[in-house]
């Protein structure tokens, strides 16, 4: 990767994250950590164009705090699963 994650646009982060293989946690859902739930949610969003577009629109409407949270989650997802890129 030639560009740092922190300098990528939200759209670029989504495109990168879509190419990464998600590995769901083992065990019962009730025992998943908050981060495991967020990672599963990110994966589901990446599989659905409408959800991705809604996320981008929400960032535009709600502004910087929302965008920071979404970017942080996508970067965490890429850092966690990035070594298993397809």
Report the C-alpha gap between 38 and 44 in whole angstroms: 10
Indicate the DSSP class of residue 19: T
User: So what's the pLDDT on residue 86?
Assistant: 43
What phi and psi values does residue 20 have, to the nearest 5 degrees?
-95, 140
User: So what's the pLDDT on residue 43?
Assistant: 97
pTM score: 0.86
Q: What pLDDT digit, counting tens, does each position of 46-80 carry?
A: 999 999 999 999 999 999 999 999 999 999 999 99
CA distances from 18 to 10, 28, 65, 76, 80 (A): 12, 25, 23, 14, 13
Q: What pLDDT digit, counting tens, does each position of 11-23 carry?
A: 999 999 999 999 9
User: So what's the pLDDT on residue 84?
Assistant: 54
For residue 85, the cross-strand partners are 20
């Amino acid at each position: 990767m030639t560009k740092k994650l922190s300098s990528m646009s939200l759209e670029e982060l989504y495109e990168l994250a879509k190419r990464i293989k998600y590995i769901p946690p083992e065990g019962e859902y009730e025992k998943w950590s908050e981060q495991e739930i967020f990672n599963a949610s990110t994966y589901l969003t990446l599989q659905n164009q409408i959800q991705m577009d809604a996320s981008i629109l929400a960032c535009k409407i709600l502004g910087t705090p929302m965008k920071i949270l979404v970017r942080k989650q996508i970067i965490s997802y890429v850092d966690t699963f990035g070594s298993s890129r397809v």
